[in-house]
Structure 1
Amino acid sequence: MTQTIERRSFLRAGAIGLAGLGFTGLVPAWARSGSPGLAPTLPTLSGEDIRLRIANTAFTVGGRTGHAVTMNGVLPAPLIRLREGQNVRLHVENTLDEDSSIHWHGLIVPFQMDGVPGVSFPGIKPRSTFVYEFPLRQSGTYWYHSHSGLQEQQGHYGPMIIDPAEPDPVAYDREHVIVLSDWTFLHPHQLVTKLKAEGGYFNRQKQTVFGMLRGGPEESMSASDRAMWGKMRMDPADIADVTAATYTYLVNGHGPQENWTGLFRPGERVRLRIINAATMSIFNIRIPGLPMTVVSADGLNVRPVTVDEFQIGNAETYDVIIQPTEDKAFTFVAETIERSGMARATFAPRLGMTAPVPPLRPRPTLTMKDMGMGGMDHGSMAGMDHGAMSGMDHGAMAAGASAAAADHGSSNSMGGMNMRDKSKVPDSVKVGVGVDAIAMSPVDRTGDPGVGLEDVGHKVLTYRDLMSLTPNPDTRPPQRTIEVHLTGNMERFMWSFDGEKFSEGVEPIRFERNERARVVLINNTMMTHPIHLHGHFFEVVNGHTGSYPRKHTVNVLPGGKVSFDLTADAPGDWAFHCHLLLHMHAGMFRVVTVRPLEGEAA
């Protein structure tokens, strides 16, 4: 066993050496599966001039090989490690036969360098090179990925760490970068085709009578609630569009059986920089037997808060400190929100050690709050005539009736409550075939831990636990409030903002430069949506006035709402979208424009 460990250590050191020579693609993945700590397991690029090459590459996981789009031949792409205050030039060569791009997720850059084709630059044409150049005005944990087509699903993503210019307020002895992602051997356009044909195509955990009788989540539902969901032709287990039916969940490019391992010495403070680079998967993170202290969210420091578990939406990043004191291994668990699968890794004093891998927990089911009834008196609903729901528009829509026909009379009522009541939304929201529900009574859910985590028996992070480590930089009250409704038709896989897809030529959301505004995100769907704004950090309104956590991506829970305060201090045109890639692709995307630009008259 000692010889094996020494050989792996040698190969790992060789991999790091080859990374510097640009030959990482020649090193087998298993030779890079251990991480000793500050010497990174991921190939690393630093300096003022960095070169990235986008290319088609074979990728192997779980004994199968498929096609990937990678940078410098590795998946995930190399770790880019820089320092706050430096100016960096990134030369990106596109060897593909199609356009490509790189978006620097969470970085504050000039909008021409943001990397969104058709919004901030024309894209990187086939067999050409584009040079990104910008100063680094921040520090923290970030990442980068394609904003072209569906290349992100094919492996076009990587981590980025910016070390602070001043001493880091977070003390730690060792760190590990953890890139979470989801991999499928299906082409991403096949995913879209299958979801368009059947919204629940990948849902293998549908509600069943057998589950009700044998202790499944259905058992805890009342007969009237089961009847209600049935009448609506909705499945309370429809929590994620794409699941382990096709996905393998990766840690730093390694599947669960490959057991990526990060090392520690007992007693060390170990910093985990966790990045959710998944296309369609929200993860619940825990390390059984080991608490985690959250010290950073989306790259910015927060007041330390110790938890046993937290939910990380697509494109969010969290830094946590763990301090294992025993000479034993611990399992890192990233269980998907719908609990169909998990990414798994190990933290241990030595390579080759393992810890028990917990089984998947029972799948969660949606609740009345997830349906947008969180602000209603649920006690008064007990006597509702659920039979009156039989003709509601969800069923009619699923049967192919037009939105106009579904709106007539009381056919879409639930005991007198209209599930598509247009009076619940402003006139600016277009309620047509692409909107299958409007939340009747949405509530602020920043104090909720996430779908399925309400009663797990231990401390789970909520947004209300987060407070900025330093005072918020802009203390002005918002000058106006803007509502943005998250809308969709789950059965038809149609997704939008305010009932309009981006392809329908919607107007940008406009801000005056340096305007202070409150944006209220209202989720009319029964899925969690991680919403990302480019070019800015915003302050999540969570009750801690003056110390709101500053983020660039926020999870909006089903049937709930999140408010954030924004200082529109970055002139230009910026993408604003759901970071579930296929939702963005289907239309949940807008442009935010901030004017005037430099040199323009106000």
Structure 2
Amino acid sequence: MRNNTIILFALLLLTSSAIKAQKVVRYDLYVRDTIVNFTGKEKRAIAVNGQIPMPTLTFTEGDIAEINVYNELKEGTSLHWHGLYLPNKEDGVPYLTQMPIKPGTEHVYRFPIVQSGTHWYHSHSGLQEQMGMYGSLILKKKVDDLTFRKGIDDLPQVPVILSEWTDYKPENVHRMLHNASDWFAIKKGTTQSYAEAIKEGHFKTKLTNEWKRMLAMDVSDVYYDKFLINGKTESQLSQFKAGDKVRLRISNGGASSYFWLTYGGGKITVVANDGNDVVPVEVDRLIIGVSETYDVIVTVPDKDTSYAFLATPEDRTKSTSIYIGEGEKKAADLLPKLKYFEGMKMMNNMMNMDGTMDDMGMSMSMQKMDMNTVMYPELSASPKMEMDGKMDHSKMNMKSEEIDHSRMEHSMAGMKSDKMDMKDAKMDHAKMDHSKMDMSSKKSKMVTLNYGMLKSPTKTTLPKEVAVRELRFELTGNMNRYVWSMDNKVLSESDKILIKKGEVVRITLYNNSMMRHPMHLHGHDFRVLNGKGDYAPLKNVLDIMPMETDVIEFEANADGDWFFHCHILYHMMAGMNRVFSYEKSAPNPLLPNKEKAYKKLQAESNALHFMAENDFATNGNDGQAMLQNARWSFGTEWRLGYHDEHGYESETHIGRYIGRNQWFMPFIGFDARYRKLDHGEVEENLFGQSSTKDKRLQVSLGFNYTLPLLVVAQAEVYHDGNVRFQVMREDIPLTKRLRMAFMVNTDREYMGGLKYIVGKNMGITTHYDSDMGVGFGLNLNY
């Protein structure tokens, strides 16, 4: 008995010592409204402890993090610890792992630090991340850690967080995206109008693009006023001298911007990704996806010179730099503007008339083939491929000192687009004809990082004796209506995905949209199956490019509900997300009504978006208002004349979009009209039916269908048996700012008009209406 008491006492002492040995690191974070001025205009933002970005939080593996959040906003908030392994209730997703932190209250996040690496943290409430709620999160290794790498982990380290700023309210940005506003393209100079197409010799390209019911080509969604590194457009690290090596811990805290990273002082050595070590790989440049992190090492080559580490957004509208070293500044080469019509032509050849991507026989994965490369002028001298279904090596000039097959970016730049027939181009490397590839250009030596080049320094294999759950998701989207989904379902249309603790979950992702998507899994790292076998790299964000198919897998070793979503903020809020839920999870004390909370989460990513416009013209007023979400549309339009012979009319439609491309929308309609006709005047429609233009109050059934050239056909039958068929289009881009519209129907009504876009919410118009005549006016829209 006495021996048992001694053993028990010893165990208690050891446990007590272990608990005391864990260092509690506490931060107090005060979330407040603030005013910023990045562009010469004062705008509302959200600051934490009075700063944007939020304070850098630093811990060492083995610490206990205790973070006290004081919400001094007038709205709820939250903080998510991106990339961290932690208890589910600490993950910081409102309505999934906790309720929002209410205004005027305090919330404590407390969790052990069980990993190392470069991470970041941000609000997961609404669109607050876009307004300044993002910051670096650095988890250091212990010096005696077995994975500690001399010459890497002991270098001087600088946290770097990339972001962007817009003077527009994020809610307004989201609404404009859903309403297909051209304003961002106008601001970026990427409108791709017919006049610009003719000037560039791409009229046929533009016509084909619209024939296949596609809008203009773009690589990013939003126009941003500024791009920032650590909250500034430009800064300098003057403490470093010639010969110094610097480790930059880079996080992309942008809401929707990818960044190209280049260095004016030479090569970049990548040593970690998403907080996980990789075997060092030397590159000329890399693109960092939204929410990804990279650790890179750069060297200061010469004294009296500071070298730009340049971050350029994917759309190349602006850039931001941090200069490393002291003395005269040496800039990195700026990336030239994209060749959008070349990208449009490529997409035309890849897109079928039914809106699906053409199966080119490719097995693209791991970013090895960037389909946007045709738009990169700096690579225009890289390998040229004749897309005739085969390649002949006989005429290739492949100098061994210039080509490294393991690192070569499989570029499609320089394609002879007029000779491309993607339907016949089967990219089977065994049959490729290399006869017209010229690889002697110096440009071919440029090495761009892709996932196939990443390798873990340690084995990452998962248990082989456990069950494997196979899942497949197709990433789908509708750029015309800005709906983003998985398997053509938004979160509000899907249930949680049940998984079992102890199994391996293997996910195949296929991107069948024309945008990149950085897919992020909360609370877990996953293996990226990139051909490195047992040494496959670990990540928590997978940037998957158009037409790629990638496979990831993770061990289900946690508990609770975990978010899986596209980390482009506006894609996530438009529905591209899912929830993995562990079976038989313990109750979450922070969610008193779990089912009700989940319904709120679902509703948040399928909100209704409002738009309205009115044309104040000399011959009357006409306009429309609309509420829409992923599936439903509630719209009304009106025409109000100034005289009795013009009268008034209004049409209201309640419809639901059907199908993957949402070209088809059946609706219920309500039609009210009044016009004073001359005594005895009778009008008939093209079907010989009597018109009811003088006085109409009717219910109808009908549908809209989007035809080639983005023309909307509308068929409608009224309760009195009258039938109407109509075709129309409102937004034909003639020039950068000039838009044309037309309408004609079987009631013998027709309209043609022009609008010149003056500003975000204003245009100058002229139109002719068969009922109301010629008018000139001012268009105001919201």
Partner of 2:478: 489
Q: Secondary structure at the match of 2:533?
A: coil
Question: Does the 8 Å contact 1:523/1:558 carry over to 2?
Answer: yes
Letter aligned with residue 228 of structure 2: L
> In structure 2, how many angstroms separate the alpha carbons of the residues matched to 1:586 and 1:553?
19
> In structure 1, how many angstroms separate the alpha carbons of the residues matched to 2:558 and 2:501?
7
Partner of 1:64: 41
Shift of 1:289: 3.9
Task: Call closer, same or farther: CA 1:368–1:510 in 2, change over 3 Å.
Answer: farther
Task: Call closer, same or farther: CA 1:127–1:309 in 2, change over 3 Å.
Answer: same
Percentage of identical aligned residues: 34
Task: Call closer, same or farther: CA 1:53–1:440 in 2, change over 3 Å.
Answer: farther
270, 277, 282: which one pairs with 1:301? 277
Question: Does the 8 Å contact 2:194/2:206 carry over to 1?
Answer: no
Question: Does the 8 Å contact 1:501/1:589 carry over to 2?
Answer: yes
Partner of 1:173: 155
Q: Deviations over 1:294-344 (max 9, x none)?
A: 000000100000001001011000000111221112112111112222222
Pairing 1:144–2:133 present:
no
Partner of 2:97: 120
Partner of 1:362: 337
> In structure 2, how many angstroms separate the alpha carbons of the residues matched to 1:368 and 1:466?
31
Pairing 1:135–2:112 present:
yes
Question: Does the 8 Å contact 2:161/2:250 carry over to 1?
Answer: yes
Partner of 1:403: none
> In structure 2, how many angstroms separate the alpha carbons of the residues matched to 1:297 and 1:158?
17
290, 299, 309: which one pairs with 1:323? 299
Shift of 1:361: 1.0
Partner of 2:496: 508
Pairing 1:342–2:319 present:
yes
Partner of 1:247: 225
- Hey, which of these two has a bigger chunk of strand by percent? 2
Bigger mean CA offset, 462-471 vs 195-204: 195-204
Partner of 2:649: none
Gaps of 5+ in 2: 1-22, 377-410, 414-442, 589-782
> In structure 2, how many angstroms separate the alpha carbons of the residues matched to 1:314 and 1:88?
25
Letter aligned with residue 231 of structure 1: W
Task: Call closer, same or farther: CA 1:476–1:349 in 2, change over 3 Å.
Answer: farther
Pairing 1:419–2:355 present:
yes
> In structure 2, how many angstroms separate the alpha carbons of the residues matched to 1:188 and 1:333?
26
Task: Call closer, same or farther: CA 1:91–1:597 in 2, change over 3 Å.
Answer: same
Q: What is the number of residues matched between the two proteins? A: 487
Q: Secondary structure at the match of 1:104?
A: strand
Shift of 1:594: 1.9
Shift of 1:552: 0.4
> In structure 2, how many angstroms separate the alpha carbons of the residues matched to 1:108 and 1:370?
41
Partner of 1:28: none
Question: Does the 8 Å contact 1:100/1:123 carry over to 2?
Answer: yes
Compare CA radii of gyration and give the structure with the larger one. 2
Pairing 1:288–2:260 present:
no
Question: Does the 8 Å contact 1:285/1:335 carry over to 2?
Answer: yes
441, 444, 462: which one pairs with 2:364? 444
Q: Secondary structure at the match of 1:195?
A: helix
Shift of 1:201: 3.8
Gaps of 5+ in 1: 1-45, 375-388, 390-412, 421-436
Partner of 1:311: 287
Question: Does the 8 Å contact 1:172/1:268 carry over to 2?
Answer: no
Letter aligned with residue 291 of structure 1: K
Question: Does the 8 Å contact 1:340/1:363 carry over to 2?
Answer: no
Question: Does the 8 Å contact 2:31/2:48 carry over to 1?
Answer: yes
Question: Does the 8 Å contact 1:495/1:587 carry over to 2?
Answer: yes
Q: 1:179-578, aligned counterparts within 5 Å?
A: 179-198=161-180, 200-203=182-185, 204-208=189-193, 227-235=207-215, 237-243=217-223, 246-255=224-233, 258-261=234-237, 263-327=239-303, 328-350=305-327, 353-356=328-331, 358-365=333-340, 367=343, 371=347, 414=353, 418-420=354-356, 443-448=363-368, 450=370, 451-452=372-373, 454=411, 455=413, 457=444, 458-476=446-464, 479-504=468-493, 506-578=494-566
- Larger relative contact order, structure 1 or 2 (CA cutoff 8 Å, min sep 6): 1
Partner of 1:21: none
Partner of 1:161: 138
Shift of 1:182: 0.7
Shift of 1:571: 1.4
Q: Deviations over 1:207-248 (max 9, x none)?
A: 35666677xxx66x7x865553232243563111113xx331
Question: Does the 8 Å contact 1:512/1:595 carry over to 2?
Answer: yes
Using structure 1 for the length normalisation, give the TM-score.
0.76
Shift of 1:177: 1.3
Bigger mean CA offset, 531-540 vs 475-484: 475-484
Question: Does the 8 Å contact 1:172/1:270 carry over to 2?
Answer: no
Shift of 1:92: 0.6
